[in-house]
Structure 1
Amino acid sequence: MSAIIGFLIFLFFCAFIVVGIIAFNIYRSFRAVKQKFADFKNGTRRNGGYSNTTQSADDEVIIDRRSPDEAKRKIFSKNEGEYVDFEEEK
């Protein structure tokens, strides 16, 4: 009899943990959606937008609207780069 009660308590504890994990995931999803709506309402973008704004020392604002992949792309050709063979002139 005590083995059955122990097993039922164990099942209850496992079910409690599973329900807690599911509830946390639902809460996190709703919170993310709420934040996206708040950002949309305020006219701001987070992580999803492709806009990077920087300000230089002389108060010049630079706005970069390239995607992250495009911004990280190498702009030099394959034969140009950091390691270049050269011969020293004498």
Structure 2
Amino acid sequence: MQHSKEVIESHVKVAIDKFDPYVLLPGQDAPLNEYDGESRRIAEKLYVGISKEKVEEIIAEEFTRSFGSTFTKEDCSSPALEIYENLNK
């Protein structure tokens, strides 16, 4: 199944906002678009058939780059699984 760029970005945004590693609570204690830049950059690197491990790696790299803290693939397992499952429906 093909997913449009907008659909992929939407799935990524939902998963990343839930992930919220800094407990900023987008839409509550932080702007609703708090992680939109990261979500967009992650979505640009995704494709149907990508492995869950590769999604973990992409998220970890993006959050490490964006926030200057080290994120491991294991740290990013939960949003990666959600994104992976949505991409490969």
TM-score (normalizing by structure 2):
0.21
Larger fraction in helix: 2
Larger radius of gyration: 1
Which structure is richer in relative contact order (CA contacts within 8 A, separation 6 or more)? 2
